Amino acid sequence: MTDSVSEYLDSELQCIDLLECAHGLKELDRTVFRLLVTADEPLTVDDVADGIGRDRSTAYRSISRLLDTGFVTKEQRNYESGGYYYVYQVRESDALAADMQRLLNDWYARMGILIQEFEDTFDSAPDDGRAPVQRDE
């Protein structure tokens, strides 16, 4: 998509772009996320693979990335004859939004600290056209 904050600000972002912007997820992950959001019930890896037209291992890797970010939850279901399988579903949208807001707040605070460090480290450029002077403190 884009490489810098200014490019993100200049682009036509949609809410689904938060998956890439905030968590570095891929187009396939967004497709899986959309599938899980529109599903009437939790889906198995096989359901997801069928829904995206990809093999099971590809679907599982995408689900794993969504699990790692906290966008998706996993629930164990047991067979009556023994054994189990997992189903996956998207977390509640208000919980996801709160998590993304916290991430944004953390990023904003960190950027503020870095900007202050930048100001403290570099003097403004001298009038004679030389490069800014780095202060060693």
> Is 136 part of a structural domain of the chain?
no
135 occurs within a structural domain = no
The pLDDT, as a whole number, for residue 126 is 58
Q: Do 34 and 16 meet the contact criterion of CB atoms below 8 Å apart?
A: yes
Q: Could you write out the DSSP letters of every residue in 44-65? A: -HHHHHHHHTS-HHHHHHHHHH
For residue 131, tell me if it sits in a domain. Answer: no
Same domain, yes or no: 69 and 100: no
List CB contacts of 78: < 8 A, sequence separation 6 or more. 84
Question: Is the domain of 106 the same as that of 86?
Answer: no
Domain hosting residue 105, numbered range: 92-123
- The pLDDT assigned to 1 comes to 46
18 and 79 both lie in a single domain: yes
Amino acid at 41: E
Bridge partners (DSSP) of residue 88 are 43, 74
pLDDT at residue number 49 = 98
Q: Is residue 129 part of a domain?
A: no
Contact 97, 51 (CB under 8 A): no
The pLDDT assigned to 26 comes to 86
Do 86 and 59 fall within a single domain?
Answer: yes
Q: Are 68 and 53 a contacting pair, CB within 8 Å?
A: no
Would residue 129 be called left, alpha or beta, if left means φ above 0 and alpha means ψ between -120 and 50 degrees? left
> Alpha-carbon distance 113 to 47, whole Å?
45
132 occurs within a structural domain: no
Q: Average pLDDT by consecutive 10-residue portion of the chain (137 residues)?
A: 64 65 80 94 98 97 93 95 96 84 85 86 64 58
